[in-house]
């Protein structure tokens, strides 16, 4: 049960049950769909940018606990951050969930994102954890309408 | 326990069935996963293989391996005999009238693609219609969509009720002079519904329309008689019926297959080639271009031998009892909803839990060595019908036990506990 507890940590269960920033945004600058065709997880991400800063971010959709909690924790983590800072966080998060993080790296500033470290033991769930992040990455860097983990 | 769902109990006297002896035949079932004995309930995705099949394929490679239909040497003769013997075993198993009506393919998907590419492309013209159902696997949707885009045909969908049964009365009214084919699944991989294909074929034939049946989930769980069904095409896979992956069968009626152009071209499917003109080989070779999956064919033959050697009727009854047991047990779990409650059901149960995503159910069950399938099961339009993004699915084989169902139920309670 240990690896499973590591996966479904309190933070994840909490954000799954009561996701933060879970709403539509009518005046978003960027609206983009993220989709995992493998399991049908589907989120729409809304972003409001001001001078390169993520002024507001929200999402809605349906997915498993990992993908939903990840979208929720991400939204809280990147709000108020610059595009570059958000991209940097994504890079760190990605190495964390893939189990490729260098133990010498400083992960303290990851805050609640660190709760997803248990995902690295479940390769099939890495895509769940990164779906929202891939979607955000597209929202910030491209004009593509839809992203997919495939 | 009360049989709270309208599922028919086996009407024949229950035959004794020694499931432990059957389990001995499947080496993989002894695996320990995450410290727990494997509980394999993902049989609709692929079944496990008995030692007899694994041995037959090993023996083929160790003692017979050679190319078929072209050598004069000893091993080539031997390999050809083994491969063609498998074809005859399959012919007998599905009661096809002729061995050349059994075309070896990679699996159900290729079988359907063969029909859409060869029969469909050759016979359909703009404005024609084909009929499929709302519970098709993607493999019986997408090939027809590709053809629709190419030939400008229309695809009509037989609707389903909320139990997951086809509306046969509506189906009957879908035919017109433009209808050219019915392509329908025998047993739904998601709902477990057994469709009344014999009746549906009769209706189609009254309208002079041929029928392709996707039997991937039927052949492993019942004895299929293609002459009794009177189907025109019947597609199934080896790997879901305790055989190897990468091999399957398209059954087609002789007169239809003879009139159809080749699907793929190359070696073995020709009689003579010159740069001016090529004459195609006879059936079944016309549809079997290139060196086939010989070991797979041999393995599939060994599967049929295995099925014939055990008491298959008793095994099927055992599976049916398991499904009823599992249905009743699952329904005792608060917040669990079964998707697919047809009167006629085979060995698959899809379910959802309130506020818990199937993907999470799958991961937590796996922690206890319980393998189920989660997701949309390659049937996204059907998920839409039931307004769920995905389901969890437990599907049974002849080697599953009541104790394994109990483990599944216990595992689901653990899932609920994690999320409570």
pLDDT above 50 (res B375): yes
Give residue B3's pLDDT: 43
Q: Which residue has the higher pLDDT, B7 or B273?
A: B273
**Contact call for A38 and B375, based on CB within 8 A:** yes
Coil/strand/helix, residue B274: coil
> For chain B, which domains are there?
19-30+312-418 (3.90.1150.10), 54-308 (3.40.640.10)
> Residue B74 is encoded by which pair of tokens?
């000893």
Yes or no, beta carbons of A65 and B357 under 8 Å apart: yes
Rounded-to-integer distance, Cα B210 and Cα B208, Å: 7
Q: Is the pLDDT of residue B95 over 50?
A: yes
Q: What is the mean pLDDT of chain B?
A: 94
Q: Do A4 and B359 touch (CB under 8 A)?
A: no
B411 inside 8 A of chain A by CB = no
Mean pLDDT to the nearest integer, B326-346: 96
Residue whose C-alpha is closest to residue B327's, from B339, B317, B316:
B339
Q: How confident is the model at residue A128 (pLDDT cuts 50, 70, 90)?
A: very high
Segments of B255-398 assigned E as strands: 270-273, 278-280, 336-339, 348-353, 370-371, 373-375, 391-395
Whether residue A62 lies within 8 A of chain B, CB to CB, comes out as yes
Mean pLDDT across the stretch B188-192? 97
How far is B329 from B315, CA to CA, in rounded Å? 21
Residue range B76-86: average pLDDT?
95
Distance of CA B325 to the CA centre of its chain: 23
Compute the nearest-CA separation of A5 from chain B (Å).
9
Confidence of residue A148 (pLDDT cuts 50, 70, 90): low
- Residue B1: its pLDDT value, please? 39
Selected residue of A39, A61, A120 to mutate for chain B interface (largest B Cβ count, 10 A)? A39
**Whole-prediction pTM:** 0.92
Please list the residues that pair with B394 across neighbouring strands: B349
% of chain B beyond a pLDDT of 90: 86
> Are residues B374 and A39, on separate chains, in Cβ contact within 8 Å?
yes
The number of helices, as runs of H, and strands, as runs of E, in chain A is 5, 4
Using alpha carbons, select from B72, B22, B66 the residue that is nearest to residue B47. Answer: B22
Q: Quick check: A105 pLDDT over 80? A: no
**CATH placement of domain A2-144:** 3.90.1010.10
Which helix (H) or strand (E) segment is B263 a member of?
Answer: none
pLDDT, residue B49, reads 98
Q: What does the pLDDT read at residue B267?
A: 80
Percent residues over pLDDT 70 in chain A:
89
Interval B53-66 mean pLDDT = 96
| Region of poorest pLDDT, from A3-12, B162-171, B213-222 | A3-12
> Is residue B43 scored above 50 in pLDDT?
yes
Mean pLDDT along residues A19-46 = 90
A/B interface, count of CB pairs below 8 Å: 52
According to the model, what pLDDT value does residue B4 have?
47
Separation between Cα atoms, residue B353 and residue A30, nearest integer Å: 33
User: Would you state the pLDDT for residue A107?
Assistant: 64
Residue B418 to chain A, least CA–CA distance (Å) = 8
Confidence at residue A144, expressed as pLDDT on a 0 to 100 scale: 53
Instruction: Decide if pLDDT at B90 tops 90.
Output: yes
**Mean pLDDT score, A75-86:** 95
B363 touches chain A (CB under 8 A): yes
Q: Per-residue pLDDT for B40 more than 80? A: yes
Q: Which two tokens stand for residue B377?
A: 């099961």
What number is the average pLDDT over the span B66-84? 91
DSSP string, B156-223: EEE-B-TTS-B-HHHHHTT--TTEEEEEEESB-TTT-BB--HHHHHHHHHHTT--EEEE-TTTTTTS-
Alpha-carbon distances, residue B285 vs A115, B49, B107, B292 (angstroms): 58, 28, 17, 10
Q: Which residues contact B200 (CB under 8 A, 6 or more apart)?
A: B166, B168, B171, B182, B184, B211
> Using 50, 70 and 90 to split pLDDT, how confident is the model at B62?
very high
pLDDT score recorded for residue A147: 53
Structure tokens at B211: 């029928």
Question: Residue B207: which pLDDT band, with cuts at 50, 70 and 90?
Answer: very high
**Residues of B annotated catalytic, as ranges:** 378
Supply the pLDDT for residue B389.
Answer: 85
User: Residue B369 above 60 pLDDT?
Assistant: yes
Residue ranges per domain, chain A? 2-144
């Amino acid at each position: 049960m240990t690896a499973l507890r590591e996966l479904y940590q309190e933070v994840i269960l909490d954000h799954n049950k009561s996701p933060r920033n879970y709403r539509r945004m009518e005046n978003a600058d960027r609206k983009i769909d993220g989709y995992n065709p493998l399991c049908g997880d589907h989120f729409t991400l809304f972003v409001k940018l001001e001078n390169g800063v993520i002024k507001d971010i929200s999402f809605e959709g349906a997915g498993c606990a990992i993908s939903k909690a990840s979208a929720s924790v991400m939204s809280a983590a990147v709000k108020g951050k610059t595009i570059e800072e958000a991209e940097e966080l994504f890079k760190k998060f990605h190495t964390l969930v893939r189990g490729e993080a260098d133990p010498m790296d400083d992960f303290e500033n990851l805050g609640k994102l660190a709760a997803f470290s248990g995902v690295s033991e479940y390769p099939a769930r890495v895509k769940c954890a990164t779906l929202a992040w891939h979607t955000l990455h597209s929202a910030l860097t491209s004009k593509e309408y839809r992203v997919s983990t495939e | 326990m009360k049989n709270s769902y309208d599922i028919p109990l086996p009407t024949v006297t229950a035959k004794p069935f020694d499931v432990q002896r059957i389990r001995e035949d499947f080496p993989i079932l002894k695996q320990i996963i995450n410290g727990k004995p494997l509980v394999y309930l993902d049989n609709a995705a692929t079944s496990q293989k008995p030692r007899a099949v694994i041995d037959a394929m090993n023996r083929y490679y160790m003692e017979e391996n050679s190319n078929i239909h072209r050598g004069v040497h000893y091993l080539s003769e031997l390999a050809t005999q083994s491969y063609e013997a498998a074809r005859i075993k399959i012919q007998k198993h599905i009661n096809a009238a002729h061995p050349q009506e059994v075309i070896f393919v990679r699996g159900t998907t290729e079988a359907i693609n063969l029909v859409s590419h060869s029969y469909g492309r050759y016979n359909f013209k703009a404005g024609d219609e084909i009929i499929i159902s709302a519970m098709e696997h993607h493999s019986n949707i997408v090939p027809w969509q590709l053809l629709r885009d190419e030939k400008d045909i229309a695809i009509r969908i037989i609707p389903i009720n909320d139990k997951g049964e086809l509306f046969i009365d509506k189906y009957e009214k879908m035919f017109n002079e433009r209808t050219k084919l019915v392509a329908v699944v025998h047993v739904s991989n998601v709902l477990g519904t057994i469709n009344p294909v014999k009746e549906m074929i009769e209706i189609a034939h009254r309208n002079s329309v041929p029928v392709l049946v996707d039997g991937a989930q039927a052949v492993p769980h019942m004895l299929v008689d293609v002459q009794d069904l009177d189907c025109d095409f019947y597609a199934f896979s080896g790997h879901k019926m305790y055989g190897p992956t990468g091999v399957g069968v398209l059954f087609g009626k002789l007169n239809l297959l003879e009139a159809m152009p080749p699907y793929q071209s190359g070696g073995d499917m020709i009689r003579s080639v010159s740069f001016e003109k090529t004459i195609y080989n006879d059936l079944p070779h016309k549809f079997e271009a290139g060196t086939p999956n010989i070991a797979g064919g041999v393995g599939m033959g060994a599967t049929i031998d295995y099925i014939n050697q055990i008491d298959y009727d008793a095994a099927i009854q055992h599976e049916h009892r398991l499904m009823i047991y599992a249905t009743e047990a699952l329904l005792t779990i608060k917040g669990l909803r079964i998707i697919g409650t047809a009167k006629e059901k085979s060995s698959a149960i899809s379910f959802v839990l309130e506020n818990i995503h199937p993907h999470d159910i799958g991961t937590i069950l796996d922690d206890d060595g319980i393998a189920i399938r989660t997701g949309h099961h390659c049937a996204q339009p059907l998920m839409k019908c039931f307004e769920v993004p995905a389901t969890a699915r437990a599907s049974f084989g002849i080697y599953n036990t009541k104790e394994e169902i109990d483990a599944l139920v216990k595992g689901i309670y653990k899932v609920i506990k994690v999320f409570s």
